[in-house]
Amino acid sequence: MSGSRERPLRADAARNRAKLLDVATEVFTTRGVDVPTEEIARAAGVGVGTLFRHFPTKEALLAAVMVRRLEAIAAGAADLAAGAEPAEAFFDCFRLVVDRSEGKNEFTQALAAAGVDVHASLQEPTTAIRAQLTDLLAGAQRAGAVRADLGLPELLALLVGTGATMEQLRDDPAARERIYEVVFDGLRPH
Amino acid sequence: MSGSRERPLRADAARNRAKLLDVATEVFTTRGVDVPTEEIARAAGVGVGTLFRHFPTKEALLAAVMVRRLEAIAAGAADLAAGAEPAEAFFDCFRLVVDRSEGKNEFTQALAAAGVDVHASLQEPTTAIRAQLTDLLAGAQRAGAVRADLGLPELLALLVGTGATMEQLRDDPAARERIYEVVFDGLRPH
Amino acid sequence: MSGSRERPLRADAARNRAKLLDVATEVFTTRGVDVPTEEIARAAGVGVGTLFRHFPTKEALLAAVMVRRLEAIAAGAADLAAGAEPAEAFFDCFRLVVDRSEGKNEFTQALAAAGVDVHASLQEPTTAIRAQLTDLLAGAQRAGAVRADLGLPELLALLVGTGATMEQLRDDPAARERIYEVVFDGLRPH
Amino acid sequence: MSGSRERPLRADAARNRAKLLDVATEVFTTRGVDVPTEEIARAAGVGVGTLFRHFPTKEALLAAVMVRRLEAIAAGAADLAAGAEPAEAFFDCFRLVVDRSEGKNEFTQALAAAGVDVHASLQEPTTAIRAQLTDLLAGAQRAGAVRADLGLPELLALLVGTGATMEQLRDDPAARERIYEVVFDGLRPH
DNA sequence: CATGAATGAGACTTCATTCAT
DNA sequence: CATGAATGAAGTCTCATTCAT
């Protein structure tokens, strides 16, 4: 699962990489993608050189941040899926993914703008989530809780879109709840 | 309301401004927001100076492009609203706005990243659409075609979000159609 | 004296030229030489084109402003010279020139920076002052009020330099007066 | 007093900074303040980026050049002051400052035009000279070689103004000498 | 392996000057 | 003759990336 990549990575190097990722996540999320690399390095307490040793380009850093978020989401989803009956698992997982997607769009776009094939470069880490969602969707459909004519692509698109919807309603929890009602109602058969 | 601005604008100036807007719309939409101003000027057949005379900053150009798109959408929406029964008018208009929203997110984000208060600077031109949507929504609710607990904010958020959903399914019209079914089903009472 | 140049100049054209000169004098003096030509034109109530019709380059405008000031100074000097005994006339005139030189340095330098041979382009209009100063100096020297070994070049240089000195003491009239004492004392024989 | 600033500065960085300062001094003095930064960088054998790393704005570079010149002047003045009797020390120092002031006005004005508070930003490095001049002046006055009613402000103004005077007589050493006689005579009591 | 100085292409913008209206 | 839109060279500054220390 968390297969070993390259060499084991020395202790301090690993610490630097982690700090960099933490800072980048924080900074990109709160201040946008245009923050200079140098600033991120400084905030992480390392030189730019170190940043570029770990992430050969800025895009690579961006991608790594995304991957990390996706992995976190996947972990959460795994817990939920393990739990209860199919329908509940599906809808709970939907909520989880959406709630954690905050700001994800900006990354995706920044990556795309940089000419990176997002689908390709994020393929592997996303696989876990994809697999889980496929299972959850199938289970919910088998249980008659979700329209049978929907596939994984529609589900993924809907997750992204609902995330975007929610971002517009950041300050109104009640409204967000109503949106969930609309979307979940729409997902059910008929 | 949509009153005349400043002076009538000389013939060639108007032509240049229009060309600039055309080119910018095209370029920003297809190649993203990071295209150099100089390239836009060249593509429009004018010098950079001319571009900056018409739009004092790049953001101003970006905003102008958005405004233009919104105005076009508003015009289309007006035609639909004039037409038929409330429910149909509402759903048709929803589709129209979503279909024309392609790529709009990127603009909004670019503007926001530049520190522009999008809501403020685009307020006026958006007002037309807002008003129409308010009417359409009210009409559809009165006709019992849409849940009564939804307000304009939710509608707007849903329009944005559905647009984002659709962008993920750019190449699959059938899937897009299924999304519309989901969302429209969800919007109906119960 | 005010010899006719070129054509007689139509009434409105003359008015424009005068307004332009007034505004330029005001603006250059208060806000420096880097003010855009367009702004000067606007302040004068004309288009840039008109400005450039009257003054083929910005330097030409700068030079014209200087000329005008010098002419004003010359006029004032003439009045004084006409008056009393040689020594008094000389020293009064010295004061007059210095007092009116405020900010003149900036112009001279701007012109020089633009590669204009100031001495050459201002030769003619300065001639009047030069002639007067030559006479005044000679008179004062004959009267034994000024060292005999000084020539016009030294006098001109001293006028410029004393102007610069005074600009440093803009806010201290008493100090300025002491400077005059120093310089005038120094000018007297022994 | 002339305490170390920030970090020790790496060897190559120090070399570049020095070269930049040398070139800038040379170029600004001979060709004026309007020389493009890029040209200065090229002449110093570095990229523009390096220039801007050392001096965040062009004004900063200008100011640094001035500071350097003032420091050089102060050093020379210190030597003189150490030497002989008060009167001689004073007048020699006056000459020194004036002779080294060549072109200094242009800098001051460029800085002022850029909205920099020259007095403030150059305060510290000037302090050394101020202190020395204060001492020299007091000494010369005590020795009865200079009018007692003059203060430091007048002296400084006179230094600037005499510099301006001398610049007009760049090519006539004999005339310059006569100016010194005039000014020094004027400075003596009576 | 870390550091941060150096690089230099390129971004945005200004402005003197020209020329169609 | 006046106007002001158009021009485009040039200027200052930023920032991802490289490389000497």
Report d(CA D102, CA A24) in Å as an integer. 52
Could you tell me if residue A29 is inside a domain?
yes
The CA distance from B37 to B39, in Å, is: 5
Do residue D161 and residue C164 have CB atoms under 8 angstroms apart?
yes
Instruction: State the maximum Cα–Cα separation within chain C, in Å, rounded to a whole number.
Output: 58
CB A66, CB A106: distance < 8 Å: no
| B102 and B20 inside one domain | no
Tokens matching residue C164: 């610069």
Q: Is A86 on the interface with B (CB under 8 A)?
A: no
In-domain check, residue A1: no
* Whether residue B89 sits in one domain with residue B66: yes
Task: Look over chain C and give the mean of its residue pLDDT values, rounded to a whole number.
Answer: 85
Q: Which residue has the least CA–C1' distance to nucleotide E8?
A: D47
What does the block give as tokens for A79? 């817990």
Contact A187 B187 (CB under 8 A): no
**What average pLDDT does this structure show over C104-120?**
67
- Sign for the pseudo-dihedral over CA of C119, C125, C131, C136: negative
| Position with higher pLDDT, A170 vs C23 | C23
Chains B and C touch (3+ CB pairs under 8 A): no
* Domain match, C88 and C29 both: no
The answer on pLDDT for C1 being more than 50 is: no
Q: Which of A112, A154, A175 sits opposite B179 (nearest CB)?
A: A154
Q: Is A189 on the interface with B (CB under 8 A)?
A: no
- Let me know whether B22 and B90 are in one domain: no
Note down pLDDT in tens along chain B; length 190 residues: 334 445 566 778 888 999 999 999 888 888 878 889 999 999 999 999 999 999 998 888 888 888 888 788 878 877 877 777 899 999 998 998 888 877 666 666 666 666 555 556 666 666 777 888 898 899 999 999 999 999 999 999 999 899 989 988 988 999 999 999 999 999 999 7
pLDDT computed for residue D31 by the predictor? 83
Distances (CA, A) of B76 to A61, B64, B94, B99, D108: 42, 19, 11, 12, 61
Q: Closest CB to C109: pick one of D109, D150, D153.
A: D109
Cα–Cα dist B97/B77, whole Å: 8
**Would residue B139 count as lying in a domain?**
yes
C177: burial class by Cβ within 10 Å (0-12, 13-18, 19+)? exposed
Q: Are residues C133 and C86 in the same domain?
A: yes
Whole domain around residue D85: which residue ranges?
65-187
A window 19-38: Cβ near strand F (< 7 A): 34, 36-38
Beta strands in A14-102 (DSSP E): none
Structure confidence at residue B78 (pLDDT): 78
Q: Find the distance separating the first CA and the last CA of chain B, reported in whole Å.
A: 39
User: Does residue C2 belong to any structural domain of this protein?
Assistant: no
Question: In the structure, how far is the CA atom of residue A47 from the C1' atom of nucleotide E4, in angstroms?
Answer: 6
Look over chain A and give the mean of its residue pLDDT values, rounded to a whole number. Answer: 85
Given a contact cutoff of 8 angstroms between Cβ atoms, the answer to whether A189 and A147 are in contact is yes
A104/A148 same-domain check? yes
Task: List C-alpha distances in Å: C182 to C175, C186, D150, D181, D186.
Answer: 11, 6, 10, 12, 4
Residue A169 lies in a domain: yes
* pLDDT tens digits along B32-52: 788 899 999 999 999 999 999
Question: By the CB < 8 Å criterion, does C152 face chain D?
Answer: no
Please state, in angstroms and rounded to a whole number, the distance separating the CA atoms of residues C54 and B106: 49
Nucleotide nearest to C47 (CA to C1'): F3
Rounded distance between C-alpha atoms, residue A151 and residue C177, angstroms: 93
* Contact criterion met (CB < 8 Å) for C153 and D168: yes
- Which residue does chain B place closest to A167, by CA atoms? B157
The minimal CB distance from A182 to the residues B165, B179, B187 is found for B187
Asked if B109 has any chain A CB less than 8 Å from its own CB, the reply is yes
Residues of chain D short of pLDDT 70, as ranges, are 1-9, 103-125
Residues A40-93: tens digit of each pLDDT: 999 999 999 999 999 999 989 998 988 888 888 888 888 877 777 899 999 999
Section A185-189 average pLDDT: 96
Q: Residues B141, B105: one domain?
A: yes
Distance between CA atoms of D190 and D187, rounded to whole angstroms?
9
* Number of Cα atoms under 13 Å in the Cβ half of residue C40: 32
B3 lies in some domain: no
Q: Are residues A86 and A42 in the same domain?
A: no
Shortest Cα distance, chain B CAs vs residue A145, angstroms: 13
Q: Residue C157: closest CA among chain D residues belongs to which residue?
A: D165
Residue B57 is classified by DSSP as S
Which pLDDT score is estimated for A178? 97
How many structural domains compose chain C? 2
Backbone φ and ψ for A8, nearest 5 degrees, come out as: -60, -25
| Side chain identity, residue D124 | E
Share of chain A above pLDDT 70, in %: 84
Same domain, B126 and B64: yes
- Same domain (yes/no): A95, A26: no
Q: How far apart are CA D85 and CA D139, in angstroms?
A: 9
Report the alpha-carbon angle D143-D154-D77, nearest 5: 60
The answer to the question of residue B116 being in a domain is yes
CB-based contact B178 A33, cutoff 8 Å: no
Q: How far is the CA of C117 from the C1' of F7 (A)?
A: 29
The values of phi and psi at residue B45, to 5°, are 75, 25
pLDDT at B69: 81
Of the partner residues A33, A156, A172, the one whose CB lies closest to the CB of residue B153: A172
- Average pLDDT on C148-166 reads 93
Question: Is the pLDDT reported for residue C4 higher than 90?
Answer: no
Dist CA D104 CA D163 (whole Å): 9
Which residue of chain C comes nearest to D184, CA vs CA? C186
Q: What is the dihedral of CA D36, D40, D45, D50, to 10 degrees?
A: -80
User: Where on strand E do bases come within 7 A of a protein Cβ?
Assistant: 1-21
| D69 and D138 fall within a common domain | yes
- A185 to chain B, any CB pair closer than 8 A? The answer is yes
pLDDT at B123: 61
Reading the block at residue C64, the tokens are 């014209």
State residue A102's pLDDT score. 73
C-alpha–C-alpha distance, residues C125 and D95, integer Å: 34
pLDDT, tens digit (0-9, with 9 covering 90-100), for A93-124: 999 989 887 767 777 777 666 666 666 666 66
Q: What is chain D's length? A: 190
Q: What is the CATH number of the domain that holds B39?
A: 1.10.10.60
Q: Does B96 touch chain A (CB under 8 A)?
A: no
CATH of the domain at A175: 1.10.357.10
- The verdict on D50 and D76 lying in the same domain is no
Residue B146 contacts A, CB cutoff 8 Å: no
Instruction: Please count the other Cβ atoms lying within 10 Å of the Cβ belonging to residue A54.
Output: 18
Domain membership of residue C1 (yes or no) is: no
Token readout for D63 is 């100011």
Residue closest to D29 by CA, chosen among D74, D62, D75, D67: D62
Q: A140-161, pLDDT tens digit by residue?
A: 999 999 999 999 999 999 998 9
